[in-house]
Amino acid sequence: MNPADLTAITHREQEARGRHRCRVLCCSSTACLASGGGAAKDGLTRAVKLHGLEKNVQIVNTGCMGLCSLGPMMRLEAQGEPDTLYQRMTADSAHQVVDEQLVPYFQPGHTPTEAESEVGAHDFPHLRASLSQVRLGRGLDEHLLPQDMPFFTRQKKIVLARAGLIDPERIEDYIAHGGYTALAKALTQLTPEQVCAEIQASGLRGRGGAGYPTGLKWNHVRKADGPRKFVIANGDEGDPGAYMDRTLMEADPHSILEGMIIAGYAVGAQHGYLYVRGEYPVAVKRLEKAIRSAYRQGLLGDDIFGTAFSFEVDIRIGAGAFVCGEETALMASVEGQRGTPRMRPPYPAQNGLWNAPTLINNVETYGNITAILNEGAAWFAGIGTEKSKGTKIFALTGKLNHTGLIEVPMGITLREIVFEIGGGIPGGRQFKAAQTGGPSGGCIPAEHLDTPVDYESLKALGSIMGSGGLVVMDDASSMPDVAKFFMEFCVDESCGKCVPCRVGTVQMHRLLEKVTAGQGQAADLQKLENLCRLVQRTSLCGLGQSAPNPVLSTLRYFRHEYDALVANGR
């Protein structure tokens, strides 16, 4: 493969697409499959066959379109028409789309006049030639989603730019959307130093939670001595309620792979590992397929793009332990050891996998790389706030009218996310708090709704950006209960290696149980706070060090709820 081949593939794809006047994209990410996406797509396929439209209508499996709570989702692209988005699709409604929209669309030569279309399309099938003017009958309109919803318009898609628009299982589709051009550029026009400098200049920071500057990390690994080096993509994603990484892996696996290969070139590694949790079978399947097709196209393996650079990638599947997302535990797991963290330093950049210098980044971090190289560091640095650049993907869940997966520019306020994108709180209830960072994060109360979402601001509020979980709670939620929930998670997920976390999480959980059951005393709250500080400052790894955060942040903003439980309980 050489860079010109990418253009050839793109042309072939465009030609093939031109032969179909219409494409129906069916979301086949885990969420939509779970809500019946498979049956809806089967219904669509049957109806298209029934009307003999196979040659005109291309049906494509894609990754996530975003509004997972309204799935299964579909998108109709017809030449000369604006795209149409559908929600809650079933086999019947898919059939209806074909009967009432596609069949008339393919009747040639009819553009209804305004007067004609006023009458109502279903009475006069020949009038329905223009999709945008079709009047829908029998409840199909309930399945239409307006594209100007703030849920869509307030987002900014860089990492998810192709999600829901391409078939994640076809490398050609990825290439036709600009895929692997960043790799070609890096390998043929840039030195490893230049790639690192570009990433550094972009201001990109790690999306796995801690927000370490990515370019700096790449440079550390590049400068580290060693006959062999490794690159790891962290797709372990263990936070409860979070599914950003799963969605990205399912929707656009090649973008992660391309980011990894570029990283391998930049730091001088020959081998990469994609670490994916075992609960993500669809992601694993698509990544495996992506790796196979990249090898077949010569984008992995020896002498990529005819250069001296060679790179291999393997998948390692985790067994679902949250702690295996921690980088040192993850590397132990890849080596086949029990997944427990170890003391850092030495950091992986010096001493990582099999003691070799190792670059480890989150999969979303890798998902940013191609855009930075294609559009330039300055473009990327123009998005976001002073210290937090680009976008962040959030899994928006909880008490909201619209939940799903969103990508927003850094610096957007929580208020915009909750009330515009999320459509506000249902049932006439009040917003109480937003939880970010999962079991390592904290709760942000209503008075801080106008805080810009960036690494520093969230930290100052006692929470963290985290990997992208965002749970909204209304005034019916009890904050001590929330704290108890996360502490229970930490009890279950503590690896048991160090004493403060192994015993401390259990003790804190018991105290929270006592308090929430109304059996606590003021002294128990005191003890709880003391334990929080101890576990924070003496635990071995990030899990223990941050396990007290949900308790501390709810104590900070909602102490009255704890006090009331203690006062009334007696």
Ligand X SMILES: Cc1cc2nc3c(=O)[nH]c(=O)nc-3n(C[C@H](O)[C@H](O)[C@H](O)COP(=O)(O)O)c2cc1C
- Give me the residues that bind ligand X (CB under 6 A), please: 206-210, 212, 234, 236-238, 322-323, 325-327, 360-362, 365, 467, 541-543
Backbone angles phi, psi at 135, to 5 degrees: -90, 125
Phi-psi region of 153 (alpha: psi -120 to 50; beta: other; left: phi over 0): alpha
Residue 321 touches which of ligand SF4, another protein, ligand X, none (Cβ within 5-8 Å per kind): another protein
- Cβ distance to ligand X smaller for residue 94 or 372: 372
Cβ neighbours, 10 Å, residue 426: 12
Packing angle of the helix pair 244-251, 363-375 (nearest 10 deg): 60
Output the residue with the shortest Cβ distance to ligand SF4. 544
Residue 367 CB, nearest approach to ligand X (Å): 10
Residue 238 touches which of ligand SF4, another protein, ligand X, none (Cβ within 5-8 Å per kind): ligand X
- Cβ distance to another protein smaller for residue 398 or 441: 441
| R_g of the chain computed on alpha carbons | 25
- Cβ distance to ligand SF4 smaller for residue 341 or 437: 341
Q: Per-residue x/- mask for another protein, residues 432 to 471, rule CB under 8 A? A: ----------------------------------------
Residue 362 touches which of another protein, ligand X, ligand SF4, none (Cβ within 5-8 Å per kind): ligand X
Site membership for another protein, residue 219 (CB under 8 A): no
Residue 436 CB, nearest approach to ligand SF4 (Å): 21
Residue 491 CB, nearest approach to another protein (Å): 6
Residues in the chain: 570
Site membership for another protein, residue 559 (CB under 8 A): no
At 332, which helix (H) or strand (E)?
helix 327-334
Residue 543 CB, nearest approach to ligand SF4 (Å): 4
Nearest to 100 by CA among 83, 122, 79, 78: 122
Contacts of 528 (CB under 8 A, 6+ apart): 508, 511, 512, 515, 551
- Cβ distance to another protein smaller for residue 506 or 564: 506
Rounded CA-CA distance 472/550 in Å is: 14
Mode of pairing for the β-strands spanning 469-474 and 391-398: parallel
Nearest to 250 by CA among 176, 163, 314: 163
Residue 531 touches which of another protein, ligand SF4, ligand X, none (Cβ within 5-8 Å per kind): another protein
Q: In 3-state terms, what secondary structure has residue 422?
A: coil
Instruction: Give the interface with ligand SF4 as residue ranges (CB under 6 A).
Output: 323, 340-341, 494-498, 501-502, 539-541, 543-544
Contacts of 554 (CB under 8 A, 6+ apart): 442, 443, 479, 480, 482, 483, 561, 562
Site membership for another protein, residue 478 (CB under 8 A): no
Q: Per-residue x/- mask for another protein, residues 491 to 520, rule CB under 8 A? A: xxxxxxxxxx-xxxxxx--xx--x------
Site membership for another protein, residue 548 (CB under 8 A): no
Residue 39 CB, nearest approach to ligand X (Å): 32
Rounded CA-CA distance 63/26 in Å is: 8
